[in-house]
Amino acid sequence: MSATATEKNGAGDAVDQLVEGAPADEAPPFSLELSQDQKDIRDWVHGFAENVVRPAAAEWDEREETPWPIIQEAAKIGLYGFEGIAQFFADPSGLQLPIVNEELFWGDAGIGMSIMGTTLAVAAIFGQGTPEQMGEWIPQCFGTPEDPKVAAFCSSEPNAGSDVSAIRTTAKYDEAKDEWVINGQKAWATNGGIANVHVVIASVDRELGARGHAAFIVPPGTKGLEQGAKVKKHGLRASHTADVHLDDCRVPGSCLLGGKEKLEERLARAREGKRTGGQAAMQTFEASRPVVGAQAVGIARAAYEYALEYAKERVQFGRPIIENQAIAFTLANMKMEIDAARLLVWRASWMGRNGVPFENAEGSMSKLKAGEVAVWVTERAMQILGGNGYTREFPVERMHRDAKIYDIFEGTAEIQRLVISRAISGMHIR
């Protein structure tokens, strides 16, 4: 048989497969349809966001306090707690956690962060800890439904935000007591000082820069850890943010995430100039970026939906303002940008859950796009509402304030572009 005939037969077989369906032992066809379980959980969280979170949003924004009653309500229904988060993490598609975050932050971002802020510390323990450390500390991050707790991830410092290599907090090992002694100051820590469990990034070898960092558990009630100044923020005001001071803070040797043997192996590779498998802080941020992107999508969607309904009802010059192309086209663009951001979030979430490398910094892409969309959409929503959009009588003003941080925290928009440009070029862009 000629090569041409072989090619034709091969093409014919491919067409037959398309018509008749792929063999039973192959993967199912590509689909963006959510499973029934995913839809059920989405609707369950949406109901909580609509009936519990939204009615309380303005009050807790004004109070600028952690909404413990709302956290407890979330814990009672299983939305806040070790088992619930484990279920979301376990979804093989990787989509359940971002779906949950989008719905919760659609309700309100400040309260959403007070509920989900703990997961950043959990992600650090899950990503870097031993099985024994996970089993011991992750449940303590959440407490119980009767007595809920929160956890804090402490990486940034007054002079070390985007530049994690500038971290000055140190951890020194006291071999005689098998303890680590931590000294330093952390800044902008979600739940800092009020947390039951703090995860602290500290330098164990300053000469190695960021490659000399390690992550430590600071157990409840540890002496030497104190809350510093509480930050009064532009947005996310229902979420507690504060400095954390560590003064000769001693933690058991077992509180080094991953263990001392693993740390020493990593430091040895770094001193030899070899790859070390990532920096302690950046590993956590890279894993969490798609989830943060999902939060931004939730804020944007809430603002878009409110503006859409407002535009249908608001009458000027004898007709609803949505009948003006300027308004209608803006809403069309808002919807398009939200859907585009969500798809980037879902792609990165699926890749992360299934071990597909972020060769083009897809995690950073998702967070960057979603953050910028949230800021743009909420600003457009304010514009559509006109003077009403600028007042606290309408929620889009709060949504706009909440959205802005997504251009800044867990890697600024500029840092995300730096990460992406380095990934696509293979060069050390500065």
Residue type, 243: D
Cβ partners under 8 Å of residue 373, min gap 6: 296, 297, 300, 337, 338, 340, 341
Amino acid at 199: V
The pair of structure tokens assigned to 4 is 């041409």
Question: Can you tell me the distance from the alpha carbon of 272 to that of 412, in angstroms, rounded to the nearest whole number?
Answer: 31
Residue 190 structure tokens: 């979600």
Q: Which residues contact 374 (CB under 8 A, 6 or more apart)?
A: 296, 297, 299, 300, 341, 403, 406
Q: What is the residue-wise DSSP string for 374-429?
A: HHHHHHHHHHHHGGGGGSTTSTHHHHHHHHGGGGTTTS-HHHHHHHHHHHHH-S--
Q: Going by C-beta distance under 8 Å and a sequence separation of 6 or more, which residues neighbour residue 336? A: none
Query: Distance between CA atoms of 143 and 81, rounded to whole angstroms?
Result: 7
Radius of gyration of the chain (CA): 24
Which residue in the list 73, 103, 337, 410 is annotated as catalytic?
Answer: 410
Backbone dihedral region of 84: left (phi > 0), alpha (psi from -120 to 50 degrees) or beta? alpha
Please answer whether residues 183 and 252 qualify as being in contact, where contact means their C-beta atoms are separated by less than 8 angstroms.
no
C-alpha to C-alpha distance for 324 and 314, rounded to whole angstroms = 12
Question: Is 410 in the active site?
Answer: yes
The DSSP call for residue 211 is G
**Residues labelled as active-site residues:** 410
